[in-house]
């Protein structure tokens, strides 16, 4: 029996749907291995960038923007929230610290709600634009995942960061899209973080510190864009909002 999907969707849509599936795998992995879950979130981020490349070269369908937002809810809304909740549960038991565990779950729920609202508004108002209002969900998820891999797993820190990202996603701060060369650099570093465990299994010649080194580099790059992008990143044909123009 032929699938209706195969007749209506394109190659870029298939990559987008795979992104959502990776998000689900990250949620499941968070109950077993938080580092694996964080790497799966980064893999979803790579897929999220790849579907745009495929769409530009192979064309897109009218369903593309809607599928992209739906997939992003799974991979950059639910999956990072589940990751943070799992780290908090691993670090503190509900019996010993019920307030912190409840705060972790609550911050995760707030993060998911903010991601859904932000992505819905993005689909309606900003699809195709070269800038976006509020912290992008992919950026928030990347920072949280890189922080976990780099060893920043203090429950209180992650809960505070998750709640802050939920608020920032609904803010009016405007971010320009990453320039193509910078998006490529970010994708390469994300891929390096993802593939490092396989490299360690394949050879003992790979230094043990290199995995965390790539994670720190990714955290530095993504946090730099998070903090400095709204003010200093405009250019390459992307015009800054009137309040930031000199």
pLDDT > 90? residue 237:
no
Is residue 4 a part of any domain in this protein? no
**Rounded Cα gap, residues 51 and 59, in angstroms:** 10
β-bridge partners, 143: none
CATH code of the domain in which 198 resides:
1.20.120
pLDDT > 60? residue 108:
yes
pLDDT category of residue 198 using cuts at 50, 70 and 90? confident
The stretch 166-189 carries a mean pLDDT of 91
**Rounded Cα gap, residues 101 and 105, in angstroms:** 6
Number of domains in the chain: 1
What is the pTM assigned to this prediction?
A: 0.89
Query: Tell me, what's the pLDDT at 217?
Result: 93
pLDDT > 50? residue 238:
yes
Is residue 1 a part of any domain in this protein? no
pLDDT > 60? residue 246:
no
Tokens (6 digits) for 242: 């009137």
Quick: pLDDT tens for 20-54. 999 999 999 999 999 999 999 999 999 988 887 88
Of 63, 72, 2, 9, residue with least CA distance to 41: 72
Lowest mean pLDDT among 85-99, 109-123, 152-166, 231-245: 231-245
For 54, the domain range is 11-233
Identify the residue whose tokens are 């999907």: 5
Of 52, 47, 44, residue with least CA distance to 177: 52
Is residue 2 a part of any domain in this protein? no
Is residue 244 a part of any domain in this protein? no
Quick check: helix, strand or coil at residue 5? helix
Quick check: helix, strand or coil at residue 67? helix
On whether the CB atoms of residues 115 and 137 are closer than 8 A, the answer is yes
Query: Tell me, what's the pLDDT at 1?
Result: 46
Of 220, 221, 234, residue with least CA distance to 173: 234
* Chain mean pLDDT for the chain: 86
Is residue 6 a part of any domain in this protein? no
On whether the CB atoms of residues 114 and 166 are closer than 8 A, the answer is yes
């Amino acid at each position: 029996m032929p699938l209706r999907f195969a007749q209506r969707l394109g190659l870029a849509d298939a990559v987008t749907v795979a992104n959502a599936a990776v998000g689900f795998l990250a949620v499941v992995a968070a109950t077993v291995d938080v580092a694996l879950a964080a790497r799966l979130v980064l893999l979803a981020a790579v897929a999220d960038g790849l579907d745009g490349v495929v769409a530009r070269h192979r064309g897109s369908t009218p369903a593309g923007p809607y599928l992209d937002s739906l997939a992003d809810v799974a991979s950059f809304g639910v999956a990072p929230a589940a990751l943070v909740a799992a780290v908090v549960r691993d670090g503190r038991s509900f019996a010993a610290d019920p307030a912190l565990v409840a705060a972790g779950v609550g911050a995760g729920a707030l993060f998911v709600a903010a991601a859904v609202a932000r992505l819905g508004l993005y689909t309606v108002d900003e699809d195709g634009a070269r800038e976006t209002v509020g912290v992008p969900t992919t950026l928030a998820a990347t920072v949280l995942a890189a922080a976990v891999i780099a060893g920043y797993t203090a429950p209180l820190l992650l809960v505070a960061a998750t709640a802050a990202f939920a608020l920032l996603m609904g803010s009016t701060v405007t971010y320009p899209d990453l320039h193509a060369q910078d998006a490529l650099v970010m994708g390469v570093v994300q891929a390096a973080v993802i593939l490092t465990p396989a490299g360690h299994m394949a050879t003992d010649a790979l230094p043990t510190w290199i995995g965390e080194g790539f994670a720190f580099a990714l955290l530095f790059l993504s946090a730099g864009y998070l903090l400095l992008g709204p003010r200093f990143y405009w250019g390459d044909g992307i015009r800054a909002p009137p309040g930031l123009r000199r």
